[in-house]
Structure 1
């Protein structure tokens, strides 16, 4: 198969027609950067063959944002020694046309011819999928899928096997298949498809496992019974020995001794705590007495300090009294300034009131003048409005009826013109004095008449001539003309006019009156938005406010004489008054502070004087010395008691430490727990003895050994039956293996042609390596020297290379069987290193001798030595855009 020409239009980025022709029978290298359209062209070829023309699931072919597009693909190719021409359109213009030499096919029939040629099938519904692509799906490699070959081979498997059978004959269709199927049928009676036992074989195996499990359980119970018997003997011996020795009684005796020692220590701790409280009390009394002693000793010092404080308070009082005149003068000046500022503010406010009243009077006078003018205009506009309304009413006429009247007049004129063209024309030119009579109407001189009806012409002295107008349409014209004249008369009567011109005049007058009416309303609304009555009320209210403002101005007191020159604005006057008020408040605060200071200084002086006199009397009192002597004696006695008590506390503390009360407390807890544990252990032995005795009695009644013997006999019986089926299963397995090996030998014979082509390409890429195909013709085991593994275990780049040479081998096989081939590679081998890529170029060049290969790439520099001239998609696009038409 050779693709000669490809044309796409309205397909993805190719909105305008794009043609790629002169494709060579061997290698074709097509390159362009990303998003230049390479994958789009591959998609177009796939859509032309794989997609149903009537499908609606190919929106991906539509140019972005163009819902009216009809993607169209045209292909010209050679196959089976014939010329094929395919045109397929999708979406908005669904069509499929195929021409093979001179024979044409359309729609479904054309698509079936394509599927039959290349070996694929169409999707029953929706877009086509890989499982439908068959041979093209194997040979046409999409971007990034070169390494995935297993499923592609599976989808094309039937076509490949058909090609192989046509080469080597139906070697697989032997009688051995029937024998294998019979053995598989017998084998399937014993095994599942996955090779696991089934039926009686599975049931016997499970029964054997159940019997063995039951025997194991019985044997375990028998062993447990024997263990329980041994345990019963040991527990009985331990229980009787412990019951005789009663070890918890010795622990109870030790517990009572320890509790007694702990009680003695507690008494010592109580005595220690009481004497510590006594010592604390003595220390507190000693501290109080010392404080009293120090206080008495400090009276002389306090007397001197109080004398100094008294002198200082007297000096500070005299200084404060000296500042009193200045403070009084300051507050007097502040009050005078505040009263002047308040008077000025009052005059400024009076002047401000009068100024606002004068402004209101001027504003109200202007407003009253404006309202008076608007009222006069409103009355004028109202009069014009009434006149326009009356004019509109007088000339009111239905404009639509007038249009109908004009139309009727127009039709009448046209009909009269038409009647004149078909009427009989009578012209005359008489001698002076000669007369004629047309329908009793005298004629003289010269003239012309058009006759539509039968008429008589009387010639004096000659006779009467009858004139009958002819023509097929004359009668209908007369009727139509009469009807139009009657309709025109009736319409003018209905409208109350004498002519069409009068009706048009009334329409124009009515429209002019309506415009005047709207204009008058707008003018009236501009001067009286809510009506003349409201405007009149506003004007009266403004006059009232004006009179009221004048009366307020007249009654408002004027500034005092001599003050007008000093009057400033209210804000300045208020600022000055505020400033004066602040200074007054500061002076008053300073005066209050001064008075407070005087009172404080005087009170301090008086207090210091009183304390000095009191301390002086106290120091000079004879009882003072006596108190000092008494305090000294009391302090000596308390010190002696304290020393003796501290010695006693220290000795007792040492005794408590040596007794270690915390350890005694722990011993008590330990003895209590030991007693509880000993008693609980003995009780648990007793309970376990009862439980074991009851359990042994129950097990002895079950006859465990007899049950075990019966289960062993059942197991032996089941085992014999299982062995019979097991030997049969092994025999069937062996027979099936031998038959399968024989079948595989026949399969290898069938695969030989494919293996030949595969080895040809593999030797170019991996010398001394082998690649085997399985019974489904999929490449599987790969070996090279000592290396052995599956193709799926190779690196990504190696799998991509193996996938490509496998596809080329399939193409050789198909070509050898006489099937058409076309290889399409979209950005393949991008993961190959330099050396491997060089080997793959040799392989592609070799394969191009037998197949047409379309290689799309965005790295043309890597393929510059492929031996073919590259084709630039961008250059082809520019040529398509610059082409005429």
Structure 2
């Protein structure tokens, strides 16, 4: 089976139609990042085959948020020389059409035809599930399911066994399997088929034996409990005799005495709280008075400090005024030195500027000549490129259209060859002077003609013959050729070419022109990276700058030291030559750097003198201001302290502080006396005594009540147990348990015997099964040896890979497939599926292998081996490989379909 074309529309992310044509018979690689639509295409193929077109279970195929969309899938494939075309539409305007050559099927009939071909089933209702997928479910690996094989093989088991030519059901019809079936039936009466657990009568006897043992244990427990309750009743009666005196009342009286003492202590605490509050107010008032007294003392100290500050500022002002003449003389000297250094630097800079301007003129003259030459060459190249582009505009090459034209030309040739082989050949041998009229052509003599279309032959004197050659196939070929020719002519007309040869000549001419344009543009980029206009603008700027430098040089005043040399340079029209002569004849210029250093030193000395003068003036101003401020503050503070009101306040404060101090002493003595009485009473111990005695009384009374209730309950229980005759019941139950144990042992021996017999019979049948499995084993070993030479992959009777056998340093190593690593199980799963596909192909069954992101857990070495296996399998089967890691598969030699291009299309 070879898939030829796939088309989807309104299906998940593919809202617009997406079509994939010309699929290769071997490996087809679909590459793209996550969320690019690979799994969507796989889902589309599965839906086309597995989902009934009438089912509403295909809602996941609709594009997100578009409930009005009708997902559709079209598939074309070849099988046994016939062309199959399947079209399905889901949810809206549901339909299913299947074309097999000239035959057509619709609806349920079409779906059943597909299921019969590929070996799968449709569900009775609801969505299609794994148990319905059969052979495609085995060969089409979903993303992340490569290592899961057991269920897929189970669902496709019947088809695989039928492909072997002899199923295990045939074995069961033999006398040996009849015996196995009988032993299994006998064993099934005692043991379950899968886990070998007891069932039927055996399980019932085991349950009865376990129940009898549990009942014996319960009776023994009841007898022991009866004896314990007798002892407990005697103890309860003794304790109740002690409860008659009500001992808890004494503890309640002790709790009441402690509560009364605690109430007296609470009164002392309230009195202490009042005294403490009074002390707090007294201490706060006393502290406030002391703070005010300290403030008065600080003011006296501050007055003394203000007097000292007044005297110090006056002395500082006198010293600063005496130093003023010396500061002014230093500033005048620094200013004179700075003016001399400034004049010397101006002279040095004039000489340096003349030298710089002369050097710039020489550089600009050279750059002007170079730019003029580059501009002329660039303009020549630009004109050449423009002429080539004009020639290129007259040609309309399109590699994509050319590729389509070549493909259509090959298609026309193939269709003509098929038509020639399928056309009716009309050979004629007419008598002289006789002719036959074939349409507009008159046939005479002898010849042969190919009839590709219906024609009428007029035979004079006889009548007319109507010949319709080739039937529907030839008519279909004619229509297909006409459609292909129309597309071919349309594409030629779009290129403006008469035939394919002329179109290819135009493309070759266009390629040559492009290469020449690229060569000239490369040279042009080297001469003018930013364009010809940029070079022209740069040349104009250089010319303007050169004129500016020349004018600046001429405008400079003559250097007295070099005036004669400048006059002797001569006069001429070339200003740059004059400037160069002047520069070369000038004497050694003044040392500008030395003049700048001298000026900087003079500037620093001047700035230092100015800073010192400014600092002196600032210090003098600040000192004078500070003196005035100090005098004013001293006067203000002295007036405030010597005021009569202030003297009266200080006297009143002293008297108030003495009274508050006496009050504080009295309150503290009262508090000490109350604290001593409270401490002596120990209130926290009194509170604990109240709690302890109260709880003790409550617990003792509650315990007496519980003992009274327990006595009644134990006495009633003893009366009930004594009436049941526990000892007699246990004797009867022990005899019953012994009988059940003998029956259990009998059934156990029978079950073990049947189990052993069944194992021996199955071992014999497995040997026969292995001979039947030989074809599958051969295909497995073929692929496995490409990955592990000398290894073997054993399968069980259900055709499922069971054990991998490899040769190690210590001999053969047997590993269960389920115990292998995830990546190794994924590799064994793919190898097994390819072997199943070979088996189905030998049996004449169609195969198609789909791998969605398979082998993602394989290392580089194993992946290389699996690529060899896939490439080998692709010689016999078509493989659709979907991956988001195209770099891992680039050496597979397969055509790559970019998912991004499908989305863009």
TM-score where L is the length of structure 1: 0.45
TM-score where L is the length of structure 2: 0.45
